[in-house]
Amino acid sequence: MLKQKLSLESVIQPEEVDAIAKLSQILSLETSQIKLVGSNGEELLISESVRSMLRQVVRAIADGKTITLTPSNCELTTQEAADILNISRPFLIKLLEEEQIPYIKVGKHRRIRYEDLMKYKKQRDEKRDKMLTQLIQMSQEAGFYE
């Protein structure tokens, strides 16, 4: 399985809500060092990069959000890619045909590398932010903002 969706209902039981909130609080502390303790008592210190990722996941779960874990080297279907970009599948196909996002063909089906999709998304978001900043600046110069 390339991608696994973790829904709140399948992950958290009602009796776990307080423990999840407490775990989120502990992970948010800048100075906290997290140890994993095995059933045999063996302790393993969790690295900062893993702690950071765990913090994000636990915070999202505590907020009631659905989590999607996707390996960065996987290939996505056009529907999965469209869902990530929050666009329609036909619009994604148009982007692919315009060569704005690289893809490969597997038989008749298109596959998009996750890394390529994220690169496009980052560029799109940066362009959108730049345009919004310019629009605000133009509005301020025209006197629409005080």
CATH code of 105's domain: 1.10.1660
The residue segments making up the domain with residue 13 are: 4-69
**Could you tell me the pLDDT band of residue 6, with boundaries at 50, 70 and 90?**
very low
**Could you tell me the pLDDT band of residue 32, with boundaries at 50, 70 and 90?**
low
pLDDT at 8: 46
Same domain, 37 and 57: yes
Q: 41 in the Ramachandran plot: left (φ > 0), alpha (ψ -120 to 50) or beta?
A: left
**Could you tell me the pLDDT band of residue 1, with boundaries at 50, 70 and 90?**
very low
Residues 80 and 39: beta-carbon distance below 8 Å: no
**Could you please report the per-residue DSSP string of 12-31?**
--GGGHHHHHHHHHHHH-TT
Same domain, 32 and 79: no
Same domain, 49 and 103: no
Residue 12 pLDDT exceeds 90: no
User: In whole angstroms, how far apart are CA 144 and each of 118, 129, 130, 134, 135?
Assistant: 35, 19, 19, 14, 11
In a domain, 146, yes or no: no
pLDDT at 9: 47
pLDDT, the chain, mean: 85
Average pLDDT over residues 83-94: 96
pLDDT (tens digit, 9 = 90+) per residue, 109-135? 999 999 999 999 999 999 999 999 999
Counted domains in the chain: 2
pLDDT at 101: 97
- What is the three-class DSSP state of 49? helix
In a domain, 29, yes or no: yes
